Structure 1
Amino acid sequence: MGTITARKRKDGSTGFTAQIVRKKGGAIVWREAKTFDTKREANSWMVFREDELDKPGALDRVTAGRTTLADAIDLYVKERKEIGRTKAQCLRSIKKYKIASMDCSAIKSSDIAAFARELLAGGRKPQTVGNYVSHLSAVFKDARVLWDIPLDYQAMRDAQAALTRQETISKSAKRDRRPSLSELDLLMQYFVERQARAPQSAPMHKIIAFALFSTRRQEEVTTLKWADLDEQHSRILVRDMKHPGQKKGNDVWVELPPEALAIIKSMPRKNPEIFPYTTDAIGAAFTRACQFLGINTEQMPDEDRLHFHDLRHEGVSRLFEMGRTIPLAASVSGHRSWASLKRYTDIRQTGDKYENWKWLPVVTDTV
């Protein structure tokens, strides 16, 4: 049982100090005290705090040493079997902020809100801030249950709700950026010339065209294997296809449009992977080319910049422009629902604008 001691302050008022002591084997292992203006407040805090300390494992946690948010992030990243590159990078960057050095047990909704405002003040958009907070929320959700780290998930949820109302965070806007034929001409010319100068470099002209015609994501392009190609039926098995409800084992057979299959057949069978290159190399080459060619500029807002993933948008939209039905388009893209495909139905013309495309013979030529 704790004690309450009344002490006169210098200003003549009385302060009431509540003190809690816990012992093990006759030795004091925990002591804390807090002073209040009234005895009633002191007693209320003491009863509440003692109830907290009497919960199973509570005393062990407070005496085990200080666990910071950075520690919790490290543990989450280490023990999580599957974590995306973007999420891992985001969590690593959070460790540079003040909140990461705080004791997990001390982090309140207001601290999370302050972190979000700090991100916003640094020039990030509400959508980006929302992504940071969402990734951090995953750490809060698992920390107490899995590792007995006292992160308050309800405090995180309260902060997210308030930040959304204040428009400090928001969901990412759906992109509708698609490459133009003139932009693709620039990219193709650039990478064909690069391939001639450096034959051992990744054949980016082929990879770009394949991503467009096959509608495959960048990570999927690099993991496709010859052993999973069913050339007779013009299809291929995409292993661990991205899906919010199934991170692992979501292996999906997808149809290969004629152009995509022709590009695959033009690749040499030297490795298990059809395109044996890293996502980092492909992403960096695409980003540098877009900047060099003036397709993207530093002053350009992100929604106007061309991303590699926009090739998938172009490929799926092309299928609808060619008159494909939803099930037929999904058989190529791998989407499970109409809701997921709706964003791609921004039909800008009818027919196939890639019919007789001048670069098709180039990208299907044997390496």
Structure 2
Amino acid sequence: MASITKRGNSWSCCVWHDKKRYTKSFPTKAAAEKWARLKKAELESAPRLKSKVVESYTMDYLLHRYIDEVHPHRPFARSKMTTIKMTAEHFKDVRVIQLTPDMLFKYAEKRRAGYKGRAPISRSTLNQQLTYIAQTIDHARTLWGVDLSSNPARDALSALSKIGLVGGSRRRERRVSDQELKQLMEASLKHHSGWIGPIIMLAVETGMRQGEIQALQWKDVDFERNTIFIKDRKHPSEKLGNNQIIPVSNKALEVLKKWVPVESKRTGAVFPGVKLAQSISDRFVKVREEAGLPELHFHDLRHEAVSRFFEKGLQIQEVARISGHKDWKQLLRYTQLNASSLVDKLNG
């Protein structure tokens, strides 16, 4: 940007570039305009110098700063927060100006294969990690003065996608049979804390996510109206304030009543021994192994619940009211109805 001002018998020209000001006086306006054009061309063609501070920025610093600055305005889901922090650990002390697509490619190969005792990660998990790095670098280039000719994470994602190292998650169509549910409940009896069994049944009856179950309070359960209040339910854009009241079955309420039979003791958290949502999936992994179902995921219980809602004859809008899905199209993947449940309708 340039400005030219007449001062007495001369013309003062001021050129701004990269937060710096360059000034010079000329006897004529034409001379000032010419100098402004040449100076702007010179400055814009010269390589931008990186400050020593920016050169010292490491990826773990950028990722944590990204959390500190962005999360308060657009809260991250728990899974995103965990992934970013884990990614920061992997790239600790790696300076951003040293990060290259080749470095990320080698990292991707190691993570997909598993190394240093770590289990291999999926294409979708790796895709998430590199996407969060790319978002952080975009943010840093725009707001923090990180001067890079391109975003190495986005360059790497493009190449890795073409060779299949990263990609979207594969949809699971896993149903949980009555026999498998019985095996899970029998295995859960071996765990003296006692909460994993009721949580499994509550998930199958309500379709609630593990984070929603972990955060459940007794005051959120209305035994008279057969409803449960869920605070800050997962939503693609509204991370806070997306509160919902869902209808629940008598069986779901019976699970809770059996868990704490004495009504006067139903205060505070429903499952006070579960401090973190991750504790549920960690315990579930042990239970599924003992039940001989190593490939089963806790989220499969939600899939089973929603599938059962459809099998009971609920319409898609009614299921969405319970499951919390905002996009009805997402519910199509849950409609893996058992063939036997459709026979009567076909023969009707």
**Does 2:300 correspond to 1:310?**
yes
Seen in structure 2, the aligned counterparts of structure 1 residues 234 and 77 have a Cα distance that, compared at 3 Å, is same
Which letter maps to 1:102? Answer: V
Deviation at 1:163, TM superposition (A): 1.9
Structure 1: 5+ residue stretches without partners:
1-23, 25-45, 54-58, 297-304, 353-367
Structure 2 match to 1:90: 83
Distance 2:318 2:106 in 1: 48
The corresponding residue for 1:68 is 58
Does 1:216 pair with 2:208? yes
CA drift of 1:209 comes to 0.5
Matched-pair contact (CA < 8 Å) for 1:321–1:349: no
Check the 8 A contact 2:101/2:152 in 1, yes or no.
Answer: yes
Give the counterpart of 1:232 among 216, 224, 227: 224
Task: Choose the corresponding residue for 1:294, options 278, 283, 292.
Answer: 292
- Residues 215 and 315, structure 1, Cα contact 8 Å, conserved in 2: yes
Q: Which residue of 2 aligns with 1:186?
A: 183
Match of residue 142, structure 1, among 129, 139, 143: 139
DSSP-derived class of the 2:189 partner: helix
CA distance 1:259–1:49, change in 2 (3 Å): farther
Q: Identity of paired residues, percent?
A: 28
- The answer to whether the 8 Å contact 1:141/1:153 transfers is no
Name 2:163's counterpart in structure 1: 166
User: Measured at CA, do residues 281 and 102 of structure 1 come closer, stay the same or move farther in structure 2, by a change above 3 Å?
Assistant: closer
> Secondary structure of the equivalent of 1:236?
strand
Tell me how many residue pairs correspond in the alignment: 288
Report the aligned-residue RMSD: 2.9
Cα offsets for 1:291-326 (capped at 9, x unmatched): 123221xxxxxxxx1111110000000111122110
> Structure 1 pair 230/310, CA: closer, same or farther in 2 (3 Å)?
same
CA deviations 1:55-96 (Å, max 9, x no partner) are xxxx5x445650111211232344534444443443344345
Gaps of at least 5 residues in structure 2 are: 1-19, 21-41, 115-119, 343-348
**1:93–1:179 CA distance, 2 compared to 1 (3 A):** same
Length-normalised TM-score, structure 1: 0.69
SS in 1 for 2:105: helix
CA distance in 2 between partners of 1:252 and 1:152 (Å)? 46
Counterpart position of 1:275: 271
Paired position in structure 1 for 2:36: none
Shift of 1:213: 0.4
The alpha-carbon distance between structure 1 residues 349 and 260, as it changes in their structure 2 partners (threshold 3 A), is: farther
Say if 2:218 and 2:266, in contact at 8 Å, map to a contact too: no
Secondary structure, aligned partner of 1:187: helix
**Taking structure 2 as the reference length, what is the TM-score of the superposition?**
0.72
